Structure 1
Amino acid sequence: IVATPNRHHADLSGALLEAGVQVLVEKPIAATVADAQRMIDAAKANSRVLMVGQVERFNPAVEAVKRAVDGDDIISIQITRVGPFPPRMGEVGVVIDLAVHDIDIIRHLTGSEIVEVQPQLARTRADREDTALLQFRLANGVIAHITTNWVTPYKVRTLQVATKTKFVVADLMTRQVTEYFGQQSDGSYSTRGVMSWPNEPLKKELEAFAHAIRTGETPAVTGEDGLRNLEVALRCLGE
């Protein structure tokens, strides 16, 4: 498991892969797209597993939302990930630290790639962007919006997905998921809770890594996934 500052991911992961070690690298996969591609190439050349630690993929609330909307036409996705400034941060802003989670969720839920990016960034209390409003359009027509910052004094992690038949809301911290459906002509609608199993996301992530190693199957979050997420985040930063 490589969990160092981003700038070291490529060199360390590359050396491990070339030595025959299977690698789970924390998100974002690397500091640059070129570094990410170098890691992907090293994994292929040495027939090793390279998995990226996008832990929200394994959040049971995200899994519940995906089950709830599978087979339906998604219209829009809204994600809010805000909270106070984390003293541990030293090298990156909210886009790389936080929004990369949500870029991955959007791609995961839609099975489509982000083709248009409209970012609004602000620096209010830090030397890097600490507030970001990010709008996206995906290849399949879905629109998405991420609100993220380090200026809210309390944590919020919410995911909202609108489809042609329902509206699904998830709290990614409490794992509570609610589905609104069957809207009537008078504006009323029905609601129901969606089962969200009490799994520990980090444990599920490690189990998925071990499964890929044992079976030779494609890992749940591939190096290519990590590269795509990084590409979008860097586009948001104008890089």
Structure 2
Amino acid sequence: MNKKLIGIVFSLLMTLPGCMGSEEKDIFYGDDINPPIPAQDFILTDGDGEYYQLSQLEGKVIVIAFLFTRCPDVCPIVSANLDFISEQLGDVYGEEVVILTITVDPWTDNTTVMNDYAEARSLDWPHLTGSVEELEPVWKNFDVGLQTYDSDVDGDGVADGFDVCPDTPEGEDVDGDGCGLDTQQSEESDVQVKHHPLLTYWVDHTTGTIIVDKNMNQRVWWEDTLWNPDLVMEDILLLVNE
């Protein structure tokens, strides 16, 4: 076989699908999940105390966020971003796109707490919780790194993750931010409340929102600290139109 013929054969092979180890191309603004990961079915409980099954959403694009209601920083921003998305989607929202929030703190986030969190922010999508046994397979399937800890460097009873004043003098009473009532209050502060016992442990988790396609496959991952709502919208609509 002469060199010219070899070149023709090689060119033809390169044009055939699946030949020469062709690779999947990234098509989303968020991180493409390649290969797609099947979203395993689950049954959790919504804020009204009703069972909620993932498989009932097959045929729709699903945006799933993981958070906990005591989270003081990223989680409220994620909720606000999702609220913006729901408004921008217009008629597509609910009909072709569904949003879900799932807790990573079932020890605190019961149905009442989840419902209060949603109502306080006028969020109209399901906020789901369950037992640790029910949630663990969900966290694993969606690759949610989760760790709880109760480290408290200054021993004031407020976990370090919540403690605004990590060097409170020993034995001093503190407010809800872990700041000493005697030595760590600003002049403007009139808060004189002992810390709530729910702040005695902290939840650390992977901050990411996953978009699931109509065939129940995880397709896109958005890091919560890098959200661009307009680009998230583009990714959602791309899946809607598939």
Q: For this structure pair, what is the TM-score category when the shorter chain's length is used for normalisation?
A: under 0.3
TM, length-normalised to structure 2:
0.23
TM, length-normalised to structure 1:
0.23
